[in-house]
Structure 1
Amino acid sequence: MENIYDDIKSIKEIKRKEYNLIRNSNSFLINEKIKLNVKSSLNILLNKYHFEGKYIGIYWPLKGEVDIRFIKEINNQKVALPSSSKSKGISYHHWSNKQLEIDSNNIPAPSQEKAINPNLISILFVPAIAIDQEGYRLGYGGGYFDRLRKKDLWFSIPSFVVISNNCISKKPLPRNRWDVPFNGWISENGLHQIEATK
């Protein structure tokens, strides 16, 4: 069995390199178009899934990722940012005006705020290197989001990848048995929801 997992791991590494090059070649205009679509899709998703007083989970953008931090400025929206710990995985925290701290993956996070119960989060937006038609995401290899979304309460939160169209794979991406699909994505072509997320 280990050989199968080793094979999948090495194929994922190849795909990461391939899609990272594609993503890093994207123009400023593509990323701006994705941001506009995040803004317009937000209204659709809020009407469908959001409840007053709940949080939207977003992310702090790394190189190549679309910056969606503007969501915090829309209608004083309650926004949660993830904090990752190599030993404890990911937790989401209220993004207040306090100084952010660097988490164990060198990403700014509101770690000093207490972790938010998943019942208080209505939508998650997550970055990715690639995603396939069935919603399986290729991340950075840490398995943080898969481990988080293995838990029923987290899996029940509608979760969307923010990504450029050239990083949406027409063929299934390599996946392990613990990989968990997302509910869709937002690209420069707009919002795509996968109706039957397994």
Structure 2
Amino acid sequence: MELRILKPAFAPSAANQENRQAIRNQIRIARRAIPAEAQKRVAQEAASRLMDIIYQRQAKHVALYLTSDGELDTQPLIETLWQAGINVYLPRLHPFSRGNLLFFKYHPTSHLIQNRLKIWEPKLNIIEMILPQELDVIITPLVAFDEQGNRMGMGGGYYDRCLNDWQLRGKPYPIGYAHDCQRVAALPTEHWDVPLPLIVTPSATHSA
């Protein structure tokens, strides 16, 4: 398999960087404040909503992420995907190309290790790897999103690089996944930011 690495130039303006960090701090505090029982309930609601979209798209290969820092819990979604016979994949930091991701199949017996960002990821196993353009859907983490479908992550640009030309290929179709409290009126953006066509929250599906 030929692995294509995309490297947009990242040089945020000082004003945007300050604004984005302020939004990150505010939203991360808000989502971490959601009580554990409410987290369980909204995770089930969001998983049900997103599964309807996955079925509509007839997706067979879906990438997502493991939850951390108060993010909307993906575990109910993962288990529902497994039960439906849909292949699930997790990202892993590229070992040789900083700022890029690789994707590996994830199943109940997968062995995970913690990376330098303290995030759990699959072991490097070429047999389990899939190229981004072979994925049908990629469910992206985010810190905040706005009414135009703009997504703000933690600032590393991993998903912006991965999705840089998804519209030209038609795959993987990106869907944001977030708590309702992570929606803001407008986000400061940069030229490399990749907007999302859909963002799913527990109470709604937002389309750009």
Give yes or no for TM over 0.5. yes
Aligned to 2:198: 184
Post-superposition CA distance 1:16-51 (Å, at most 9, x none): 112112222223344233312232223321232124
Amino acid corresponding to residue 57 of structure 1 in structure 2: A
Amino acid corresponding to residue 90 of structure 2 in structure 1: L
What SS does structure 2 have at the residue aligned with 1:26? Answer: coil
Of 79, 89, 103, the residue aligned with 2:88 is 79
Post-superposition CA distance 1:169-194 (Å, at most 9, x none): 12x10111110101222222132233
> RMSD between aligned alpha carbons?
2.4
Query: 1:155, 1:31 → 2: CA distance?
Result: 33
Of 68, 87, 106, the residue aligned with 2:74 is 68
Does structure 1 residue 173 correspond to structure 2 residue 187?
A: yes
TM-score, scaled to structure 2: 0.80
Aligned to 1:25: 33
Change (3 A) 1:155 1:92: farther
Change (3 A) 1:122 1:88: same
Does structure 1 residue 146 correspond to structure 2 residue 160?
A: yes
Amino acid corresponding to residue 33 of structure 1 in structure 2: R
Task: Decide whether the 8 Å contact of 2:149 with 2:207 is kept in 1.
Answer: no
Query: 2:156, 2:170 → 1: CA distance?
Result: 18
Aligned to 2:6: none
Residue ranges of structure 1 left out of the alignment (5+ in a row): none
Q: Give, in angstroms, the shift of residue 61 of structure 1.
A: 0.9
| Structure 1 segment 102-181 matched on structure 2, within 5 A | 102-114=114-126, 115-152=129-166, 156-170=171-185, 172-181=186-195
Q: Give, in angstroms, the shift of residue 91 of structure 1.
A: 1.5
Aligned to 2:4: none
Q: Give, in angstroms, the shift of residue 3 of structure 1.
A: 9.7
Change (3 A) 1:88 1:7: closer
Aligned to 1:15: 23
Query: 2:113, 2:102 → 1: CA distance?
Result: 14
